Structure 1
Amino acid sequence: MSTAQKSKSKVKQAKAITLKGSTEIVTDFFKFAVNAILYHRNVYPTDDFQMVKKYGQVVLLTQDLGLEKYIETVLSQVKEWLNSGTITQLVIAIVARESKITLERWVFDINLTLPPQPTEENPEPAAIPPKPDAEIQAEIRAIIKQIISSNTFLPTLQEPTYFTVLAYTNDNPNSVTPEANTPALWIESDPMAIEQGKTQQVKLKSFDTKIHKIDAMVEYRHG
């Protein structure tokens, strides 16, 4: 007499993302988003960039050592602010080199969601449900694709430009000096807003790690 036995199979469960893990994802996204903006909006020469594979598609990274170091320095501070929950918005402003007029503002709103803290009634900390990495990457890929196609819906930049990074924190807005070969020094700044009545906005996709939600949009000067 034989006894039927159930076949054993391993059940795998996705790990809940941590604040540190979410910060790494968001920081990485900003790195590739900034590079995509600088390339596709012709802020830096196209020859300064190389193709790499990321998020299941080909993206571009700068080969300019000064610019690369500058972006790394900026994002190292952004990473600290993400970990501490103090950054609420990151803005990439594209400015006309001679007139100093802001032509575009790429705005990334940063919303932080943390699980409720343990209480006497509920001593066990609540866990944030996991989100598949493939789903997060698909959402990021959608934003990068919109940046890549931005030349189809944004005005052509007719003059030489540079870029500035603005970081809004819970305390006050800050900016970083725009020159790529200058060390990143965060100072208080005006928002580098586009003149009222001459601005249009295009809302972009968003992505959510379950801890950080990034809402994106670009506003540009017209007329």
Structure 2
Amino acid sequence: MSQQQTKNCITLQGSAQIICEYLKFAINSVLFQRGLCSPETFKTEQQYGITLLLSEDAEIKSFLTKVLAQTEEWILNKKISKLSLVIFNVANEEILECWDFNLQYEDGDAALSKENNETIGSKDLKQIQQKIREVMLQVAATISYLPFLDSRCSFDFFANVKADCDVPENWTVSEPVFIANAQNVPFKIFSTSLHKMETVVSYKFVD
């Protein structure tokens, strides 16, 4: 039993890395499916038992690396509750779509945490990856019902952080995202036993 518990131990650092890895693949999937990056810049990679896509564009990779590194730091310090990928019309800056990645903090395994003198989760990694796989398949399926983006669009990130959080110079304070006549589609929730992730896409509904 002790060996099984040790095998399933997940530290805060490990859990934050799992969350950010999911964000990397989910964001890349959205960028590809919504036509925000040239399709020829993507390469395939096997993860969670399925084939996923990652952009090889140098600027995109650098941008996402910085965003996710900062996000991981905020997660470790319990400063962030939501990261949003916002898609907007370049011509008039109207927000057309928003992918919210909502984060909740969990207590983990009390006995293991006391034994190791740090917060520990005990959820099986394979089970976590299976849940993430289900979410990624849902993300991939959204293209069938999301409205076609018929204007030139770009994207940005917004983070919902605590008021006492130190915000880097390359991040700016902004107003909450608002989409007129919005429709929301929630996806399955997954948990590492230290962090719970809920993904929701909101989009402008057009009759």
Show the counterpart of 2:134. Answer: 142
Instruction: Compute the displacement of 1:76 (Å).
Output: 0.8
Structure 1: runs of 5+ lacking an equivalent: 1-9, 177-183
Using the aligned pairs only, state the percent identity: 28
TM-score, normalising length from structure 1? 0.82
Please give the root-mean-square deviation of Cα atoms over the aligned residues, in Å.
2.7
Letter aligned with residue 167 of structure 1: A
Show the counterpart of 1:171. Answer: 163
Show the counterpart of 2:16. Answer: 23
Separation in structure 1 between the aligned mates of residue 203 and residue 21 of structure 2, nearest angstrom: 25
Separation in structure 2 between the aligned mates of residue 62 and residue 148 of structure 1, nearest angstrom: 15
Change in CA separation of 1:175 and 1:42 when aligned onto 2, cut-off 3 Å: farther
CA contact (8 A) 1:110 1:213 kept: yes
Show the counterpart of 1:189. Answer: 174
* Structure 2 residue corresponding to 1:209, chosen from 188, 192, 195: 192
* Structure 1 residue corresponding to 2:32, chosen from 30, 39, 44: 39
Show the counterpart of 2:60. Answer: 67
Change in CA separation of 1:126 and 1:151 when aligned onto 2, cut-off 3 Å: same
Instruction: Compute the displacement of 1:127 (Å).
Output: 6.6
Letter aligned with residue 164 of structure 1: D
For residues 56-93 of structure 1, the C-alpha deviation after alignment (integer angstroms, 9 at most, x for no partner) is 11000001001100000111100100110110011111
Change in CA separation of 1:55 and 1:116 when aligned onto 2, cut-off 3 Å: closer
* Structure 1 residue corresponding to 2:86, chosen from 85, 88, 93: 93
Letter aligned with residue 207 of structure 1: F
* Structure 2 residue corresponding to 1:102, chosen from 89, 95, 100: 95
Change in CA separation of 1:52 and 1:152 when aligned onto 2, cut-off 3 Å: same
Separation in structure 1 between the aligned mates of residue 8 and residue 171 of structure 2, nearest angstrom: 36
Show the counterpart of 1:5. Answer: none
Does residue 218 of structure 1 match 2:193? no
Separation in structure 2 between the aligned mates of residue 222 and residue 55 of structure 1, nearest angstrom: 32
For residues 26-83 of structure 1, the C-alpha deviation after alignment (integer angstroms, 9 at most, x for no partner) is 0111111110010011111111111111111100000100110000011110010011
Show the counterpart of 2:69. Answer: 76
With 70-79 and 144-153 compared, the bigger mean Cα shift is at 144-153
Separation in structure 1 between the aligned mates of residue 49 and residue 73 of structure 2, nearest angstrom: 27
Change in CA separation of 1:169 and 1:22 when aligned onto 2, cut-off 3 Å: same
More helix by share: 2
CA contact (8 A) 1:115 1:126 kept: no
Letter aligned with residue 38 of structure 2: P
**How many positions carry a matched residue from both structures?**
201
Structure 2: runs of 5+ lacking an equivalent: none
CA contact (8 A) 1:112 1:212 kept: yes
Change in CA separation of 1:159 and 1:220 when aligned onto 2, cut-off 3 Å: same
